[in-house]
Amino acid sequence: MDLEPVVRMKGVSKRIGSKTIIDNLTLDIPPGQVYGFLGPNGAGKTTTIRMMVGLMAITAGDIEIQGASITKQFETAISHVGAIVENPEMYKFLSGYQNLLHYARMSPGVSKQRIAEVIELVGLQQRIHDKVKTYSLGMRQRLGVAQAILHRPKLLVLDEPTNGLDPQGIRELRSYLRQLAEEEGTTIFVSSHLLSEMELMCDTVAVIQQGRLIDVRSLHDQDAVANEQKKTMFEVSDPERARELIGQGQIMDSHLLLDIDRDTAAAINERLVLSGISVYRIAVVTRTLEDQFIELTGGGQIG
Amino acid sequence: MGNFMRLVQNENMKIYRRIRTWVMFGVILLMVLFFSILFRLGGGSSTISSWDAISQLSFLYYLATIFAAVVAADIVAGEFTWGTIKLLLIRPWTRTKVLASKLLALILFTLLITVVFFLASSLISFAMYPENTTSLMYSDDVSPLAYMLEDILYRYIDLLVIALFSFMISAVFRSSGIAIGLSMFILFTGGIFTMLFNPVRYPWAKYTLFVNMDLSQYRGGQEGVAGMTLGFSITVLLSYVLLFLLVSWLVFKKRDVAA
Ligand SMILES: Nc1ncnc2c1ncn2[C@@H]1O[C@H](COP(=O)(O)OP(=O)(O)O)[C@@H](O)[C@H]1O
Ligand SMILES: [Mg+2]
């Protein structure tokens, strides 16, 4: 993509005390995409988002939004951003409408009509004049989305937006996000610890673990096949000895996985049998992105 | 960018849309009414001038000071406890401007509560003592109104210093409880402190907040204890207020928001 990225993170690090929470993160987010930020709990997603929106200081490096530095030109940079950081916390003693009015007053050019439009988009017309303390989590989430898109930001940042939503709520959220990206050209940066969720809504995912960027990949249809890896699986009587004999491979659930073509498979089969190892089954297995993600992150995710 | 007064309007909305604020005004009105009735009944058939009645009620202004400290304590810390600070600070306004809007809304509140208090005590006093008796407190050559206004000014300065102290603690500790606690401590120990550490015996005490808060000690050109003057006390108070604001600003501006 040769378009200017909406967000440019340049060697971003965050240290708190002696602990490095984000380590030299460099990432460009291209415009118009739903961009996923995937990582297990504690990987540093929220910390990265806090730095992106200026809530936390950046220890080293810089983040630019539409070319403006979030540290040096905060007001310009942030005017392009709408966000929900962690839970959508609102003023509970105000009505939903008063909450929106509060944020509308803080951005230039948000009319009463725009407020009404956004309320309709998130489907809160019926309850908008009730106090937020009477709202369910799903309704607060919608109000959160509403405040984030009021000023038509170029970039929408959502931190684990599906946390606590029921499947219906998740589906609705996915459909607004698609609509925003496709109809308004909003770039959406969304974090999650669940790959299955990312696969459903994102064009690209960046994978982060222990504060380091470990992978960026596209999830477009035409690339889906490329993202899958094919491996040859041998079910044998003694996988450890088999691996020693062949000198490569990976043992999973007492199967031996090898990255080989079919001729090599035949040759290896012969060697195993000649060495007295029983071969019960040979199969080609396809490893999805999910398997790879779990492998990359050591399967240590919670949730 | 945009219009700063809209930020102040937001802060006002967050103060006056809370039931708590209306309870405060209600309590002030009720207490003023209650004590007026009490004094009237206690005074039997003897009657006092309405100006004296107003002055009799002025001790209740402590309530206004307490309420101002409470509002100040919440104005920054509340955003952190509610988690709304994260949404407030990601708007095209620097933290300095957000804090300034809170400060301005707080000052407007202190003015409002002061006006409400003195209007209520004046109206009730004039209604209860309509007879035009001569004042026992004011001699003929002073205008009771001017005297009362001067008194209000001194009391208001006291309230404002406490409120700004509470504002600072609220910004530094992000806890309204600590802010209210410490402000009340200052409010109620000020008198005892001044007695214990009389500036005549302890010269350093001249520079403490406590002994300078009551500007009425200089009324009518009097000199204060240990050679303290009105100008001196104003300078000390201003220095403290600027310090409170500077600390609030530095902490609020720099802090990582992880609420
Ligand atoms: N204020 C802090 N002080 C020290 N460590 C922190 C602080 N905030 C977060 N961390 C640590 O930083 C890491 C990343 O946290 P976070 O960004 O919340 O992860 P995620 O959102 O991906 O679950 C965690 O190990 C967390 O314990
Ligand atoms: Mg998180």
Q: What's the rounded Cα separation, in Å, for the pair B188 and B69?
A: 13
Q: Mean pLDDT across chain B, nearest whole number?
A: 90
> Phi first, then psi: what are they for A189, rounded to 5°?
-110, 115
Q: Is residue B259 part of a domain?
A: no
Chain B residues within an 8 Å CB radius of A132 = none
Domain tally, chain B: 1
Tens-place pLDDT, residues B82-104: 999 999 999 999 999 999 999 99
Spatial separation of the C-alpha atoms in residues A51 and A6, rounded to whole Å: 15
Surface of A (98-157) touching B: CB under 8 A: 98, 101-103, 105-108, 147
At A200 the pLDDT is 85
B188-205 pLDDT, tens digit each: 888 888 888 888 888 888
Give the structural domain span for B132. 2-254
Mean pLDDT in chain A? 88
The DSSP line for chain A is --SPPSEEEEEEEEEETTEEEEEEEEEEE-TT-EEEEE--TTSSHHHHHHHHTTSS--SEEEEEETTEETTTSHHHHHTTEEEE-SS----TTSBHHHHHHHHHHHSTT--HHHHHHHHHHTT-TTTTTSBGGG--HHHHHHHHHHHHHTT--SEEEEESTTTT--HHHHHHHHHHHHHHHHHS--EEEEEES-HHHHHHH-SEEEEEETTEEEEEEE--HHHHHHHSEEEEEEEES-HHHHHHHHT--EEETTEEEE---HHHHHHHHHHHHHTT--EEEEEEEEE-HHHHHHHHTTT----
Distance CA B254, CA A74 (A): 14
Phi first, then psi, for residue A219 (nearest 5°) are -115, 20
Tens-digit pLDDT profile for residues A8-46: 999 999 999 999 999 999 999 999 999 999 999 999 999
User: In whole angstroms, what is the distance from residue B221 CA to residue B225 CA?
Assistant: 13
Distance separating the N- and C-terminal Cα atoms of chain B: 27
How far away, in angstroms, is A45 Cα from ligand 1 center? 8
Least confident of A3-7, A38-42, A78-82: A3-7
- In this prediction, residue A303 has a pLDDT band, given cuts at 50, 70 and 90, of very low
Dump pLDDT digits (tens) for B49-82: 888 888 889 999 999 999 999 999 999 999 999 9
| All domains in chain A, ordered by first residue | 7-219 (3.40.50.300), 224-297 (3.30.70)
Instruction: Tell me whether residue B236 is in a domain.
Output: yes
Which of A47, A84, A302 is the pocket-test mutation for ligand 1 (most atoms within 8 Å of CB)?
Answer: A47
Instruction: Please name the member of B1, B10, B83 whose beta carbon is closest to the beta carbon of A108.
Output: B1
In a domain, B188, yes or no: yes
**B69 assigned to some structural domain:** yes
Least confident of A234-248, B212-226, B232-246: B212-226
Tokens representing residue B134 in the block: 């001569």
| pLDDT given at position A300 | 46
B251 pLDDT more than 90: yes
Token pair listed for A44? 């540093």
| CA-closest candidate to residue B146, choices B36, B222, B220 | B220
Average pLDDT over residues A205-225: 80
| B165 within a domain of the structure (yes/no) | yes
Distance A57 CA to ligand 1 centre (A): 14
d(CA B129, CA B117): 18
| Residue B210 falls inside a structural domain | yes
For residue A260, give both structure tokens.
């080989």
Within a domain: residue B66?
Answer: yes
